Chains A and B, each alone.
Chain A
Amino acid sequence: MTARTARPMPGAGALRETGRLFALGLDVAVNIFKRPFQFREFIQQCWFIASVTILPTALVAIPFGAIVALQLGTLIVQLGAQSFTGAASVLAIIQQAAPLVTALLVAGAGGSAICADIGSRTIREEIDAMEVLGVSPIQRLIVPRVLAAMLVAVLLNGLVSVVGVMGGYFFNVVLQGGTPGAYLASFSALAQLPDLWISELKALIFGFIAGVVAAYRGLNPKGGPKGVGDAVNQSVVITFLLLFFVNFVLTAVYLQVVPAKGS
């Protein structure tokens, strides 16, 4: 009845959706600590997400390391600092490329599967049935999936870092004629340990976002089976938008908080 009093404020819908997304994120965070923890579901989801993401991630990581190496390689030769090629590509890969590649794949492969799964359960009234049976679907289904996405994201991040750096090494040394010794020796010239921490932290946060957005869209599909398809689509797009924005914020904060090496 309140709807009749005034025209809905423009953008109110978007605000409401955002609010509900945050509410779900909060619910998930709270429910993580609720016992009993669904170990079985968690392990299954970890395995599932890992199995759909490992290979594509590795395959994306190699060319990613390569383009970073090639681009930086030519740029750095122009600047006359060949010996720092290794340092630059390690920084770029570990800090930016690895978490993003990981997150894109966790969201694209894992998140879309989670969203489709939850979405079809919602329209089949399974979620309702679960609630009516006195079991919280968030605790039972969503929490294990979000945690699995986070864990797999962190682990994949390591994988991408290694594969990416190796790819960079290969292209720099074999194709661009860089010296292996210089590449390896400069690793620690610019890079420092906090770079690795922020990388893993980013991956963790991105995994959480991917899981929560997928679950949110999956729990609220509009209008039947077609709605589930739309929801999957939207969940991937929304996750990407959020990821790049959050990445921007995290990077900005990190660069402010942690001083560059040697300064």
Chain B
Amino acid sequence: MGAEVVIEGLTKSFGRQAIWRDVSLTLPPGEVSVMLGPSGTGKSVFLKSMIGLLKPDRGSCLINGVDIVTCSEQQLYETRKLFGVLFQDGALFGSMNLFDNVAFPLREHTRKSEAEIKRIVLEKLEMTGLQGAEKKLPGEISGGMRKRAGLARALVLDPQIILCDEPDSGLDPVRTAYLSQLLIDLNAQIDATILIVTHNINLARTVPDNLGMLFRKELVMFGPREVLLTSDEPVVEQFLNGRRLGPIGMSEEKDAATMAAEQAHAAAGHSDGSPEEDLRGIVPQIEPTPGLPERQAVRRRKDRVMRILHELPPAAQEGIIASLTPEEQRRYGVRAGAHAAGRPRVAVPSPTPRTGFSGSLADTDVANLPRTDWGSR
């Protein structure tokens, strides 16, 4: 299972310019999380702070119990071996061809034979659809290929945590869909903790287990995907729907005058081209390609979410309950429409499965709930 990342009170500024302050979140082990945010809100800076490339001013970032912010250089290098990082432009070594690029971590950190390295590298290259391109130099291939090669290199050491900085930028929608599928498949196969930083709405709606959003130097929210997808927060609504109307402006924040002017335009019938329909709402999540093992994270997450269900906003609660099969609803002791009936607190799940549980699942398939500290975080 992937490593758990616990970030508390992380604050970063460049000189006097604060980038974000007091960001606290926990990436649950083995789950896929997405961090959204308008351009220039310091999403990349956030990723770089997580791996110790930038030093935050305050706060801590615990990975397997090691605080990245304060640990020694030695520990930092050791901890980094748990990471696979996909940089925005792939960050391939320009002087090496793709094969050597992908083989680099293996040659540096393992004592594998050259034959074995070749097998692993070719496997990862095929996984990312780059077979046949291994002799090419990074300068000779397209941005999308560089990105995929960067991902292949991030994967060779079977990382426990995968960080992706805008995996979709520079990729067409089809390739983005393939990449999303690839990330989910990966998660099913190696159960790594994944954090994706992006502003691709479609990816954010369909890929992650958890969604967060950075805006105005703060973490607006972070939690199970249903929370953000059903949120009434103006920022979230504007961002998910890609509208001009709302608190986000061309430069990060918008003043009241601009906002009023835009309101007036909209009221006068000016169309800004954004779709009429509301893109919020819970859509089905991407599932691993048939034939691959089931994602362990899904069940762990379900248990975790059910445990904190009563803390979530009603809209999210309803969405979550609606997404459960009737069987699961019975098992967790919740039912759809509980809120609609005006009984908001009835749906509180019990921390363990009901004793009277009788489903058709085999004993081994029934989730065990080993860790009870999730809900309290």
Q: Which A residues are closer than 8 A to B by beta carbons?
A: 1, 3-4, 120-121, 124-126, 128-136
Contacts and interface: CB of A to CB of B under 8 A. Distances in A.
B109 A124 contact: no
B91 interface: yes
Nearest to B101: A129
Contact of A129 (B57, B77, B85): B85
Given A3-B15, A133-B104, A133-B105, A124 B94 contact: yes
Given A121-B94, A134-B78, A134-B108, A128 B57 contact: no
B87 interface: yes
B193 to A, nearest CB: 15
Contacts of A3: 15-16
Please give me the 7 A-B residue pairs with the lowest Cβ-Cβ distance, nearest first.
A129-B91, A125-B91, A134-B81, A132-B85, A134-B80, A125-B87, A133-B105
Contacts of B105: 133-134
Nearest to A120: B94
A134 B91 contact: no
Interface string B76-103: 0110110101011101111000000000
Given A133-B108, A134-B80, A134-B108, A126 B85 contact: no
B252 to A, nearest CB: 19
B93 A126 contact: yes
Nearest to B17: A3
6 contacts: A126-B93, A129-B93, A130-B93, A133-B105, A134-B77, A134-B80
A130 B87 CA distance: 11
B80 A133 contact: yes
B236 interface: no
Given A3-B16, A126-B94, A132 B89 contact: no
A125 B85 CA distance: 12
B16 A136 contact: no
Contact of A132 (B15, B78, B80, B94): B80
Given A3-B16, A134-B78, A134-B80, A128 B94 contact: no
Nearest to B105: A133
A4 B16 CA distance: 7
Contact of A124 (B48, B78, B91): B91
Interface in B104-123: 104-105, 108-109
A155 to B, nearest CB: 25
A135 B77 CA distance: 7
B19 interface: no
B87 A1 contact: no
B13 interface: yes
A144 to B, nearest CB: 13
A5 B77 CA distance: 34
Interface of B: 13, 15-16, 48, 51, 53, 57, 77-78, 80-81, 83, 85, 87-89, 91-94, 104-105, 108-109, 150, 153
Given A1-B57, A4-B16, A132 B93 contact: no
Nearest to A44: B95
B80 to A, nearest CB: 5
A134 B109 contact: yes
A132 B16 contact: no
Contacts of B51: 132
Given A3-B15, A4-B16, A133-B108, A128 B78 contact: no
A130 to B, nearest CB: 8
A132 B76 CA distance: 9
Contacts of A121: 93-94
A124 B89 contact: yes
Nearest to A27: B73
A137 B48 CA distance: 16
A111 B173 CA distance: 44
A128 B88 CA distance: 12
A261 to B, nearest CB: 49
B48 A128 contact: yes
Contacts of B15: 3
A128 B80 contact: no
B230 to A, nearest CB: 35
Contacts of A120: 94
A131 B16 contact: no
A120 B88 CA distance: 16
Considering residues B16, B48, B85, B150, which has the most beta carbons from chain A within 10 angstroms of its beta carbon? B85
Contact of A125 (B57, B88, B153): B88
Contacts of B77: 134, 136
A125 B89 contact: yes
B318 to A, nearest CB: 41
A13 B80 CA distance: 31
Nearest to A4: B16
